[in-house]
Amino acid sequence: SAALSTEEASASSAAVRDSKDICRQLGIPHLVADFRQIFEEKVRLPFVEGYLAGITPNPCVNCNKHIKFPAFFDFARQHGYDRIATGHYANVVCDNGVHRIKKAACGEKDQSYMLYNLTEELLSHIELPLGGFSKDEIRAFAADVGLSVSSKPDSQDICFIPDKDTPAYLTTQMAQMGVSLSAGNFIDQNGKVLGPHKGIWNYTLGQHKRLGIALGSSRYVSAIDPTENTVTLVEDEQLIFSQSAFAKDVNLIHPLEYNGSFRAAVKPRYGKREAEATIYPPENGDGLFRIEFDQPQRALTPGQSLVFYKGDELIGGGICFLK
């Protein structure tokens, strides 16, 4: 099982206590599933290793892919239940017998981006009861029935980093893994050394703040090379814009509806706007879908998810990969 820090264990225990209290108030059974081992193998460790490889992974996507839906559903079936519900702000609708994911009614809380790895089979067993409401409405409902968590703060961005200090967390993890913490170098696009950096896991493509180097003008991270232990900085922001990218590990929720190339609105990162694009299926047996955006996009980032929409329907997505 995963080794939890004192702070992580405390947060986990508090969540269990809260859920137990809610079940007691509502008069329903309370069961606890232990997914620590799969969480370690499929979520936390790949998150750390991703940064070490120079990419910027999204652990919430992996958690939904491996734990919150398939593992949770398997657990539920083992205990006699044939449907599961989660607190994601999105909607599952049944259209002529076909289950689809639609965006949440409250756009600013929409979490459909995180759900692109779901399948039609799983969707037929899933309830997303929050999708038609705002967060304020949900808090009001909880308060009306006297739930103790009605005023609980929103959950953390990354649940296993309670203090939100990702660089410090990664540095500690690297040290525990025996990874050399010796600083590499910032370089410009011509390979000229600009000065030392603090470890490649402290940076992501497009970053221009908190770089830890003073060069007299703004610089933007345009590349991270784990082999050479370098981070490339450029002055011209236009150099971090790209019109094309590739997506690996692509899941199309209804694959038979998309033969050949197709148009979609592509969300290149959670919190970013969608952009119109044409998506081309793999051509060389490498499994990579090619995405050609109508307009250049800023800092397309390896490890983040490229998520496909048609109107308000989530149709699939994959992991950004730059050749």
The residues annotated with a catalytic role in the active site are 63, 159
Q: Which residues contact 65 (CB under 8 A, 6 or more apart)?
A: 42, 117
CA 237 to chain CA mean position, Å: 25
Tokens coding 124 = 């037929």
**C-alpha distances in Å from residue 306, one per residue of 140, 151, 177, 244:** 34, 33, 30, 11
CA distances from residue 287 to 247, 280, 312, 318 in whole angstroms, order as listed: 8, 11, 26, 11
Name the one residue in this structure whose structure tokens are 């997506």. Answer: 247
DSSP tag of 105 = S
Query: Rounded to 5 degrees, what are φ and ψ at 267?
Result: -100, 115
Burial class (CB in 10 A: 0-12, 13-18, 19+), 216: exposed
- Contact between 23 and 51 under an 8 Å Cβ cutoff? The reply is no
> What is the DSSP track for 214-229?
--SS--EEEEEETTTT
